[in-house]
Amino acid sequence: MFQTDFSYSFYKKIIDFCNEIGSIIPLKEYDRNTSNEINFIWRHDIDISLNYALTMAKIEAEHGIFSTYMIIPDSPLYQIQDTENRKILCEILEMGHEIALHFDIETAGVKNPADSNDINTAINRDIKKITNVCGTEVNSISFHRPLQKFLYGETYICGCLNAYSSELMEFYISDSQGSWREGNPLTSLSKFDSSVGQILTHPIWWAEKHMTPTQTLKNHLARQTKTMTRNESANYKEILKQTVPGVRQ
């Protein structure tokens, strides 16, 4: 487990390291890439706020790389229909990044998770919501707290490339809950011996200076609830706790 450095300077080191080994690509480019060189699929799941995603997208654009930003259409923590969030999504797209679906069974209103038709209907509904807001085709999908059947599953789901498909999970590292479970990502990458690797980050955990996950959430909560009523603040805090249950708040 690695929680030592979540600064933007360290993030840039990860980018530079991967660029030296191969190429960084957004998820949607995987099946289009026919070269024999090494590729790193670069993906971000946006669970909490689009503001942090915009900062990370700018850093990547400055480094000449493009990645995938996966959003929850009906997130209780941010609304993609809001004017400011629409602007953020458009700006991310204009930089050359991909906007894709981060599917959450609960917010999507799936009544029976065991019913594939119910899930597919909800996925298609969420895809349409993103298309309506962003004016772009949705080509990729990831899952918020994925069901077991999606892990190492089919390559395509509802016409979208599945981030958790078996062929994309051969080499996979993630900073979920503000911690790299596999250890220092640079150490993991130094042992990379495949043709395709997938790196997942959550922009909420990264900042100019390193902070612990608990500190990060406390700061975020203070900013977000500054103008809220006591009840609104308590409700937001509870939703945030449910979104990242493994981090003490």
CATH number, domain of 64, equals 3.20.20.370
What pLDDT band is residue 78 in, cutting at 50, 70 and 90? very high
Mean pLDDT value across residues 159-172: 94
Cα angle 89, 29, 192 (rounded to 5 degrees) comes to 110
Dist. CA 226–CA 56, nearest whole Å? 24
**pLDDT at residue 111 tops 90:** no
Comparing CA positions, the residue from 172, 157, 83 lying closest to residue 122 is 157
Which of 7-16, 87-96, 237-246 comes out lowest in average pLDDT?
A: 237-246
Q: What is the pLDDT of residue 11?
A: 98
Domain membership flag for residue 83: yes
Does residue 20 sit in the same domain as residue 46? yes
Comparing CA positions, the residue from 101, 74, 246 lying closest to residue 175 is 246
For 120, the domain range is 8-210
Does residue 138 sit in the same domain as residue 163? yes
Mean pLDDT value across residues 183-202: 95
Pairing of strands 156-157, 23-25: unpaired
Dist. CA 45–CA 142, nearest whole Å? 8
Domain membership flag for residue 1: no
Does residue 86 sit in the same domain as residue 202? yes
pTM of the model: 0.95
**pLDDT at residue 116 tops 80:** yes
Does residue 91 sit in the same domain as residue 190? yes
Strand partners, 23: 39
